[in-house]
Amino acid sequence: MAEIGNVRHRPARRLTQLFAGLVLYGASMAMMIRSGLGLNPWDVFHQGLSRLTGLSFGTVTIAVGVVVLLAWIPLRQRPGIGTVSNVLVIGLVVDASLALLPSGGPLPARIALLVVGIVGNGAATGLYLGARLGPGPRDGLMTGFVARRPGRSIRVVRTAIEVGVLAAGWLLGGTVGLGTVAYALAIGPLAQLFVPMFDVAGPPRPLAGGAAGVGGAARPTAGAGPTPTAVPDEPVDAPRTAPSSSRP
């Protein structure tokens, strides 16, 4: 699988970045929850299920991630190292962070917590996607649907999934509010900023004529004539468009 080849190239940087991103993601989720001002669609769903079942937010997040991964099977999606880590690490970190963060407080403090949470979420997205070790289970669900139905727009599929889980979460008692709107407006630009910033180039790829490119760039050889066209080093494990929501 592509992520195996990726982890062999600069493994310390990739793994450190992956787990730093997942830890930051869980902590930023907890900040948005404690603000009490609204969550992103998937977390509205998680919160609603948590209130319905009495399970912790992190436990519900892990359980939903496992169920979504099972949905990958008929879609023929392959989980990466980052995918499995995503399911386990984020849920554990969000519960630990919720135990440390106080709830309530004056409105300005809650707004500040929300803003820090959203920006941290964007940075976390850049870290874990930039490591190129596999998408989050929910992103894989989206790309799997698109791959099975050629011609379907990623934006349309993503919007349908997000609206569906948001509605279900709201009906279950999840918090929809200012934070939900702020997240929807901010996460795209934040991901656009942070994903290129933290992107780790993939391993060298062979090019026509025996030359090798590093990070997708061709390496010319003396007397070989014109430089061969470089093979683009696209992130195989991440969606090819900036996510409208960064939920992994």
pLDDT tens profile 209-235: 544 444 444 444 444 444 333 333 333
Q: Whole domain around residue 58: which residue ranges?
A: 2-203
pLDDT at 174: 95
Residue 213 phi, psi (nearest 5)? -105, 145
* Structural element, H or E, at residue 212: strand 212-213
- Whether residue 117 lies inside any domain: the answer is yes
- Whether residue 19 lies inside any domain: the answer is yes
pLDDT at 234: 36
List pLDDT tens digits, range 18-28: 999 999 999 99
- Tell me how many domains the chain contains: 1
Do residues 143 and 154 touch, judged by C-beta distance below 8 A? yes
- Whether residue 125 lies inside any domain: the answer is yes
- Whether residue 97 lies inside any domain: the answer is yes
- Whether residue 47 lies inside any domain: the answer is yes
Beta-carbon neighbour count of residue 229 at 10 Å? 10
List pLDDT tens digits, range 134-182: 888 887 787 787 777 777 776 788 788 889 999 999 999 999 999 999 9
Alpha helix positions (H), 172-242: 178-198
Quote the pTM value: 0.76
Say whether pLDDT at 119 is over 80. yes
List pLDDT tens digits, range 4-47: 446 566 788 999 999 999 999 999 999 999 999 999 999 999 99
Selection from 31, 189, 158 nearest residue 98 by Cα: 31
- Whether residue 245 lies inside any domain: the answer is no
pLDDT at 6: 60
- Whether residue 218 lies inside any domain: the answer is no
pLDDT at 215: 47
Per the structure block, which two tokens stand in for 228? 């061969």
> How far, CA to CA in Å, does 147 sit from each of 67, 138, 152, 159, 241?
20, 14, 8, 16, 14
- Whether residue 118 lies inside any domain: the answer is yes
